[in-house]
Amino acid sequence: MDTQNCFHCGLDVIKAEEIIFDEKSFCCNGCKTVYEIFSVNDLTCYYDFEKSPGATPLDIKGKYDFLENESIVSKLLDFQEATTAVVSLSIPHIHCSSCIWILENLQRLQEGISTSQVNFPEKKVRITYDPQSVSLSKIVYLLSSIGYEPYISLENYETGKKNVDRSLTYKLGVAFFCFGNIMLLSFPEYFDVNEYWLDTYKPFFRWLIFAMSLPSFLYSASDYYVSAYKSIRSKMLNIDIPIALGIIVMFVRSTVDIVFDYGSGFFDSLTGLIFFMLLGKMFQIKTYSFLSFERDFKSYFPIAITRINSDATEESVPVYDIQKGDRLLIRNQELIPVDGILISEKAAIDYSFVTGEAVPITKNSGDKVFAGGKQIGKVIEMEVLHSVSQSYLTQLWSNDVFQKSVVQRHKSITDTISRYFTPVLLFIAFAAFGYWIFVDTTTAFNVFTAILIVACPCALALTAPFTMGNVLRIVGKQKFYLKNALVIEQLAKVDTIVFDKTGTITTNKKAKISYEGKSLSSENLTSIKTVLRASNHPLSRMLYDFLPEMKSVAITDFEEITGKGIRAKIHGMEVVIGSAAFAGSPDENAVLQTAVHIAINEQYFGKYVFNNQYREGLESLFKSLKGTYQIKVLSGDNEGEKSSLETLLPAGTELIFDQKPEQKLEFIKQLQEQGRNVMMVGDGLNDAGALAQSNVGISISENVNVFSPACDGILEANEFQKLHYFLKLSKKAMTTIRMSFGLSLLYNVVGLSFAITGHLQPLVAAIIMPLSTITIVSFVTIMSNFYAKKLR
Amino acid sequence: MSVIYLLISISIVVAVAFFIAFLIAVRSGQYDDDYTPSVRMLFDDELKITPKKEIQTTEEKHN
C-alpha cells in the first residue's frame, strides 16, 4: 500500500495527521468519510478505474439552504412533475472515468434518484429523481459530501432550458448522403462503359441524380445563400457571394444540361463541394464546451442569500429580491452579492474574484463593503445599500461594450481577399462571355457558366477554417483555450499588450515572504509555527507553509482576535502575531505593505513581509515580447510595488496604478482610438470591461473550470510564459493561410484556363475540385503542425 | 423492366433507411456528447460485492 499519498484524493499525507482506515491511509477525516460512504454502499469500484480520483469534501453547512425554497428550485429544474424532476448540475471536479462511474451510480447512495447521466465534456450531471422522496438540496449535499460539489450560480437561475443547435450536423449528414449516392450513380458517366448501356439508362440515372442533389442544394447549402444575401445588402463582398453564385450557377447549368440532353451536368462536383465546405465549418467550430467565454458577474454570484427579517427570523431569498435596507447574513466563504454597510464588528473580505488580490481586506463596523467580495471567517451581518443591478461592480456591465451583440466586429482575412476576388471573377466571366458571343452563342453561355463553376472558391473558403481549426486544437492541447477560430486572426494583428498586475502577472497562490527584524532563534520559530498552525487566517496559512518543517509543541493559551491577530502562550512564553499595532510595531509607515508582525514576551521582534510573487518566466517573457509589442501594465492597486516592478519589466514599459474597472476600459479604448490593436491580459471581474473592449481579451485562470470573466481566450496560469509562443504561432498561421491562398488561386487559374477555352468537361471538374480541396487541407494541416513544432 | 431499376431502387431504399437512422440518432442527442459513452460502455453492469469486512467504524452505527 502506498503510504505517501492519500488513498482517496492523492495528496501527500503528513505523517503526523495520517489516518489509517481499512488498511488504507488518508490525509484527512473528509477523505476517510467519503471512502467510508463508498465502502458501506459497495461502491469501492470507484478506486479501481483511476488511482486516487477523489476530492476532499469541503464543509459547506448551510451553503445550499436556499434549495429548500420551492420557487428557487423550480427555476433550476429542467423538467418537473409530481413524481419526476430532472436537474442538470455542473460539477467542476469531474475529470476521470471514476467520476463518471460514481456519479452514474448515485441511485445506490440515495433513494429517490432514478437515473443520473454524466456529460463528460461539459462536466455536467443530469439527475432524474422523485421530488416526493428526496429534495434537491439533499442531492446537492450528498454530492458535496462525496467531494463532487456542484457549482450553482445566479447564471443557472436565469437561463432556462437551452436548445442545442444541431442544424449543422443535419446539414452535413444530408450533404454526405447526397454526395455519396450521386458519386456512385455517376460512375457509368465517368467510365462511359459502352454507348448502348448509357443510351438506355441515361435519363433514369440523370434524373435520379438530379433528385438526389435537391436536398443538398436546397437545405445543406442554405447558409451560404443567406450569408451572401446579407453581405450584398450590407454592401460588403464576403467569400460567400462567389460560393453561392458558383453553387447556383452550377445547379442551373447542370439542370439545363440534362433537360436538353447536353451532358450529365456537374451534380457530383456540386454536392461534393457543399459537403467539403460544411466539413470545414464543422472543423472550425470546435468548442470547449466545459468552458464558458460569455461569463459575467452572474456566474459568480450566488442565487440566494440569507436575509434577516425584522422579527429576527432568517430566510433564504433570491438575490434579485434584495431591497435597499435589507439586513443580510453572510457566512464563511459566502459571496457578498450587493453593496452595503457592515453591521458586525469585524470582517475579513477576500476580493480575489474582483481584483485577483488574495490577501483579505479587513473591514470594521460601519465600513462600506462592495459586491463581489467573499467573507472569510465568522458570520457577518450587513445592511444593503444598493440592489444587485445597482451595485458598484455590476454597473460595469451596463457599459455599451457589453450591450453589443456578438456581431463580427472585424473583417476576416478571407473577406478581405474576396473583396478583390469577386469583382475580378465577374470581370473574367463577362469578358470571356463577350469574346465568345461573337464566335458561338452556345459556347459563350457554356464558358460563362463554366468560369463561375470552376472559380467557385471552395479551396479558398476552406483554407482559413482548416488552418485556424487546427491551430485552435494545437493551442488547446497546451491549455490555451480560444473562444473561436477567428481569435487567432486577431491575435496575429496585436501590436500592444496590456497586462493587469494583481493575479495576472503575479500569482495569487503563493506570496513571496521575507523576514525583516531581529533574528529569531529556532525555539522562537517553533513556537511561531505552532501558533500559526491553529489559525485559519489566510496569511497565517501562507506563513505556516513558508516556515520550515519542525516539531510542534503544546500551546497552553490561544486567542485569535479577528482583524488583529493571535495571542498565545507556549511554555510560559507569550507569542503575539498580527497587525503592526497589535504587535506593537514601532514603524508606522508600513501601510503599503502586507506584513505579519511578531512580538514575543512583549518585545517586538520583526515582521514577515508578503510581496507579490511574480509568475515564473515573467521576466524572460517580457523581454522577448518587448521587441515586437508595446507593453503596458495596469493595476488597481496603489504604487507600493512600483520600484520592484520597474526592475523586472523592460525599460519604457508604461505602468499605471490605481485604476478602477471603468478606467481600465477607457484606457483600452484610448489606445484603440490611436489605431492600436490591443490585447488585454487580465483575470478578475474588474478586468471584465477592459477584456470586452480590447481586440483580444485573454483571461488568465488558475482553475479553468470555474473562474474567468467574459473573454476571447482562457489561458491556464502555469502556461503563462508561453504567451509569446502563442502569439508567434498565430502569426505563422496567417502566413500559412496566405501561402495556401496562393496555391488555391493557382488551381483556379488552371481551372479557368479549361473553362475559358470551353473545354471544361464534367469529369475534369469532378477531378479538379476534390483534388484542390484535399491538397489545400493537407497543406495547411502539415504547415500549421510544422510551425507549432518548430517555434516551440 | 430491367433489373437495374429494381437494384437501384433497393439500394436507394437501404441508403435512405440508414439516413433516417442517422437523423434519429442526432435527434436523440447521441452526437451531443461523444466522449462519455465510450467510457461508460467499459463499466461492469454488476457491482463487485466485497465481502463485508468488519470495518472498525463508529459513525456507521447511526445509519
Enter the C-alpha cell of residue A11.
495528496
Q: Which residues of B touch A33 (CB under 8 A)?
A: 59
- Alpha-carbon distance A74 to A66, whole Å? 12
What does A38-70 look like in DSSP terms, one character per residue? HHHTT-TTHHHHSSS---PPP--TTTTGGGG-H
The confidence score (pLDDT) of residue A210 equals: 93
Judged against a pLDDT cut of 50, whether residue B55 lies above it is answered with no
Q: Between chains, do B43 and A101 touch, taking CB under 8 Å as contact?
A: yes
What are the residue ranges in chain A where pLDDT is below 50? 1-3, 405-408
Mutation target to probe the A interface, by most A beta carbons within 10 A, among B43, B46, B49 is B43
Alpha-helical regions (H) of A151-194: 154-158, 167-191
Identify all chain B residues contacting A185, using CB atoms and an 8 Å cutoff: 8
**Selection from A318, A339, A486 nearest residue A413 by Cα:** A486
**Residues B21/B13, Cβ–Cβ less than 8 Å:** no
- The CATH classification of domain A306-397, taken from the options 2.60.120.260, 3.90.550.10, 2.70.150.10, 3.40.630.30: 2.70.150.10
Nearest to B4 among A22, A118, A201 (CB): A201
CB-based contact B49 A170, cutoff 8 Å: no
DSSP secondary structure letter of residue A119: E
Q: How close, in Å, is residue B47 to chain A by CA atoms?
A: 7
Phi, psi of A173 (to 5 degrees): -60, -50
Q: Which three cell numbers stand for residue A467?
A: 488552418
Q: Tell me which chain B residue has its CA closest to the CA of residue A171.
A: B23
For an interface test with A, the pick among B47, B53, B58, B61 (most A C-beta atoms closer than 10 Å) comes out as B47
Q: Name the residue of chain B whose CA is nearest to A197's CA.
A: B4
Residue A187: exposure state from Cβ atoms within 10 A (0-12, 13-18, ≥19)? exposed
Cα distances from A438 to residues A425, A435, A443, A448, A756, in angstroms, run 21, 6, 10, 14, 14
B36/A39 touch (CB, cutoff 8 Å), yes or no? no
Pairing of strands A380-384, A630-634: unpaired
Closest residue, chain A, to B21 (C-alpha)? A173
Over residues A528-583, the pLDDT tens digits come to 888 887 776 667 777 777 777 776 677 777 777 766 778 888 877 888 888 777 77
Which triple of cell numbers denotes residue A350? 477576500
The answer to whether the beta carbons of residues A636 and A683 sit under 8 Å apart is: no
pLDDT of residue A337: 83
Q: CB–CB of B33 and A121 under 8 A?
A: yes
- Same fold: A306-397 with A480-506+617-723: no
Q: Which of A182, A170, A177, A180 is nearest to B19 (CA)?
A: A177
Q: Which residues are registered as beta bridge partners of A517?
A: A606
Q: What is the pLDDT of residues B3-42, one digit of tens each?
A: 888 888 899 999 999 999 999 998 888 887 778 888 888 7
pLDDT recorded at residue A705: 60
The arrangement of strands across the sheet holding A327-330 comes to A314-318, A304-308, A327-330, A380-384, A340-342, A368-369
**DSSP type of residue A117:** E
Parallel, antiparallel, or unpaired for β A678-682 and A496-500? parallel
> Is the Cβ pair B32, A204 closer than 8 Å?
no
pLDDT value at residue A176: 94
| Domain locations in chain B as residue ranges | 2-47
Closest Cα of chain B to A174: distance in Å? 8
Which residues in chain B are contacts of A200 at CB distance < 8 A? 2
CA dihedral A428→A430→A432→A437, nearest 10 degrees, is 180
Q: Distance of CA A127 to CAs A69, A203, A448, A606, Å?
A: 19, 56, 60, 56
Residues of A in contact with B55 (CB under 8 A): 22, 36, 39-40
Does B53 score more than 50 pLDDT? no
Q: Are A181 and B42 inside 8 Å of each other by CB?
A: no
Q: In chain A, which residues have their Cβ closer than 8 Å to the Cβ of B25?
A: none
Inter-chain touch A42–B50, beta carbons under 8 Å: yes
The DSSP secondary-structure symbol of A28 reads S
The whole-number pLDDT of residue A406 equals 44
How far apart CA A368 and CA A341 sit, in angstroms, is 5
**CATH class for domain A480-506+617-723?**
alpha beta
Q: Which three cell numbers stand for residue A311?
A: 422579527
Q: What is the pLDDT of residue A197?
A: 66
| Contact across the interface for B50 and A44, Cβ inside 8 Å | yes
Closest residue in A to B8 (Cα) is A185
Nearest CA distance, A345 vs chain B (angstrom): 38
E strand or H helix at A492? helix A486-493
Phi/psi at A567 (nearest 5 deg)?
A: -125, 125
Between CA A342 and CA A258 the distance in angstroms is: 82
Question: Cβ B33–A173 below 8 Å, yes or no?
Answer: no
Q: Which of A461, A77, A2, A436 is nearest to A245 (CA)?
A: A461
Size of interface A-B (CB pairs under 8 A): 77
Is there a contact between A42 and B48 if contact means CB atoms under 8 Å apart?
yes
Query: A48 phi and psi, to 5 degrees?
Result: -85, -35
Residue range A65-158 in CATH 3.30.70.100: yes
pLDDT of residue B14: 94
pLDDT value of position A161:
52
Interface of B with A in 1-40 (CB under 8 A): 2, 4-5, 8, 12, 15, 19, 22-23, 26-27, 29, 31-36, 39-40
- Cross-chain Cβ contact B40/A104 below 8 Å: yes
Q: Where are the domains of chain A?
A: 15-49, 65-158, 164-285, 306-397, 480-506+617-723
Task: Return contacts of A756-763, CB within 8 angstroms, 24+ apart.
Answer: A756/A428, A756/A432, A756/A447, A756/A451, A758/A436, A758/A443, A758/A446, A758/A447, A758/A450, A760/A446, A760/A450, A760/A453, A760/A454, A762/A189, A762/A263, A762/A264, A762/A265, A762/A266, A762/A268, A762/A269, A763/A189, A763/A190
Give the C-alpha separation, A502 to A508, whole Å: 8
Where does A192-287 have alpha helices with state H?
Answer: 195-215, 222-233, 240-259, 267-284
Q: For residue A213, what pLDDT is reported?
A: 93
3-state secondary structure of A730: helix
